[in-house]
Amino acid sequence: MRKVDKFRTAITNFLGKQKLSKKFLLMYFFCVLLPLVLTDTFLFKSVFEAELNNQSHYRDIAIESYVDYLENLLEYDAQVAQAIDINKNLNTFINTPYDAPYDYYDELMSTFSNSFFSTLSDINQDRIVIYSNNPTMLNGNYFHNLSEAEKEVWYQKFYAISDVNEAFYAYYDTAPVASTPDRNRLIYIRRMRNTKSKIEKIVTIEHKKSRIAGELKEIPVNCSMFLCCDDYIIYSTEPGANRLNLLDKTSHKSFMTVKEVKMYGSTFKIYAFTEDLTITKVIMNNLPIIFAVLLFTLVIPIVMMKMLERSITDRITILGKAFGEGNSDYFQPIKDISGTDEISDLMHNYNRIVGINNELTNTIYKDKLREQESDLARKNAELLALQSQINPHFLFNALESIRMHSILKGENETAEMVQRLAVMERQNVEWHDDAVTIEEEEEFIDAYLQLQSYRFGERISFDIDIDEDCKKIRIPKLTLVTFVENACVHGIESKSAQGWIFVRVYKKDDRLFIEVEDTGDGMEEADVESLQNKMNGVTIDMVKRAKHVGILNACLRIKMMFKDQVKFAVESEKGIGMSVIIMIPEEMITTS
């Protein structure tokens, strides 16, 4: 126990002399990094073993697929050969001696017309040939004299064993026959002994190696394959493979699976190879995972540790400086306290102590001086407010005097123009609330368009259509009329013919639609796209830099009021007109 206590005391004294940054580093190494290295080593070992097991599984599956293919192929060949062997008409045709070639040919046609043999020979086989020692039969497509087969390799192998009834061989002819250039074949042989006869008969079913390769190629495998029969490579997934390639591959037995299958007198060997699995290959194959592990076990923890360290040490440094600074009158409070942990609580407590201390140092004179300065500032603000009220009040009185003077002189049209101008100016200067109802904005639009009618005369017509359930919805002041003004200035003013301005407000598909349409000159497609992008992406900096801020100002205020949930669309065709559509989600709107 004493040794343990001494060791604990030594560690405590050592850590007490270290700075917080080193303490955090030691904590990360012993509590995070070292356990992670051990864990990752075990994990990597598990991944490596799992990859080895997967490769072995892939090889087993591939070999079983090849075995199934061979078994199915030979089983079908055996069934076909048996069907030929038990066919009485076919055996009678072969066993019969013929007096003349014409008799043989006549019987051949009769037999083929009443036999399934011609059809069977075309189903799933490359070539079916029946050899017999009947000297009166002529050599043809399906029937040959047995003497012709005596020089073949398969015949010599087959007849070398007397008690064999059927066999399957792979062979390569050393001297290919001109009429059959593809002589790399697999051949199934069966003695025909179903009927008693002195005539010796065998049936052969030959498969071209190219056909076997084509069908094996369709079998999906995840490894390199070799199918061998005795000393021949029947098929390989590697183009141009030979015995040397196979011998080289068999030297890596850890990544090889081989199965030997004996069928009908031949020994088939099926080899399956997967790539040599090394630590380097496993790392390269799992590079994204390794990078992810390093990122989450090394980089991110180090960054988080550093951020944690700074969140503690930086604020402790600020607190230490605050205690060490100050003049004879005040302690300086800590500004911008971040966080809600114990250190931030300590900083808040320090600020409270500083506040109490500073309040005690304040004298009555300083308090009174501060009050006097505050009173002076308040009076100046009130004076400016009164002055700002006098200016528009004086303007409205002057406009009312002009309107009354015009009425007394019978100038009713001038009086009406002045009245509409007063409505517009009153709306313009009353900024106690930036939001108005659409109904209030409608009055201003109507006054503006009526005033424009005096200017354009019959060149301008307008129609305002606002659904009743939309009139109490609040929008930023003087935004809708900005789009109407733009329609007048850029649409109607530049067109000599009569033009229309339409204002529509309605609800559809859980959205509020505001449309301002004119039948002016319209815009080019590129200008329309540019304007729509600016309206949807408007910022305060864009408004500051823009030469013409009306539309962008209105769009920015609408986006601010509805928290960027607004979409602007511009539709225009040169010489036809232009339409601006404002779409606002219904859940964002408010009413008065």
What is the structure's pLDDT at 567? 95
**CA–CA distances in Å: residue 425 to residues 395, 400, 474, 557:** 9, 12, 20, 20
Residues forming a β-bridge with 585:
511
Same-domain pairing of 496 and 526: yes
Same domain, 255 and 108: yes
- Which CATH number does the domain housing residue 520 bear? 3.30.565.10
Which pLDDT belongs to residue 533? 93
Residue in 85, 103, 266 with CA at minimum distance from that of residue 193 = 85
Report pLDDT for 362.
Answer: 63
Dist. CA 481–CA 479, nearest whole Å: 5
User: Does 216 share its domain with 140?
Assistant: yes
Alpha-carbon Rg for the chain in angstroms: 50
112 falls within a domain: yes
Q: What pLDDT score does 579 carry? A: 94
Count of domains for the chain: 3
Same domain? 299 vs 274: no
Q: Is residue 458 part of a domain?
A: yes
Which residues are within 8 A (CB) of 425 and not within 5 positions of it... i.e. 6 or more apart?
392, 395, 396, 399
Query: Is the domain of 67 the same as that of 120?
Result: yes
Q: Are 505 and 514 in contact (CB under 8 A)?
A: yes
Phi, psi of 579 (to 5 degrees): -135, 130
The secondary structure element, H or E, covering residue 499 is: strand 499-508
474 occurs within a structural domain = yes
Residue 411 lies in a domain: no
Alpha carbons 442 and 480: distance in angstroms, whole number: 9
Residue at which a domain ends, from 361, 379, 403: 361
- Of 261, 282, 303, the last residue of a domain is 282
Is 353 among the domain residues?
Answer: yes
For residue 93, which of 80, 83, 82, 103 has the smallest C-alpha distance? 103
Across the chain, which has 592 residues, the per-10-residue mean pLDDT values are: 74 71 73 75 75 85 91 89 86 88 85 65 69 89 87 84 84 48 74 84 87 87 86 81 72 80 87 76 70 73 74 74 59 74 76 73 58 46 36 43 60 64 55 76 85 78 93 89 86 81 94 94 90 89 74 86 92 90 93 83
Q: Is 304 in the same domain as 273?
A: no
Main-chain phi, psi angles of 567, to 5 degrees? -125, 135
Residue 274 sits in the same domain as residue 328:
no
Q: Do 210 and 245 sit in the same domain of this protein?
A: yes
Give the pLDDT of residue 506: 96
Q: Return the residue matching tokens 């960027």.
A: 564
Residue 463 lies in a domain: yes
Residue 33 inside a domain? The answer is no
pTM: 0.46
Does residue 166 fall inside a structural domain? yes
Count the residues in the chain: 592
Same-domain status, 246 and 305? no
Helix (H, G, I), strand (E, B) or coil at 584: strand
Q: What is the rounded distance in angstroms from the CA atom of residue 528 to the CA atom of residue 543? A: 18
Element (H, E) at 207: strand 201-208
Q: State whether 206 and 111 are in the same domain.
A: yes
Going by C-alpha positions, the residue among 255, 90, 232 that lies closest to residue 173 is 232
Please say which residue of 282, 304, 335 terminates a domain: 282
Same domain for 256 and 110, yes or no, is: yes
Same domain, 151 and 295: no
Give the residue numbers spanning the domain of 156: 51-282
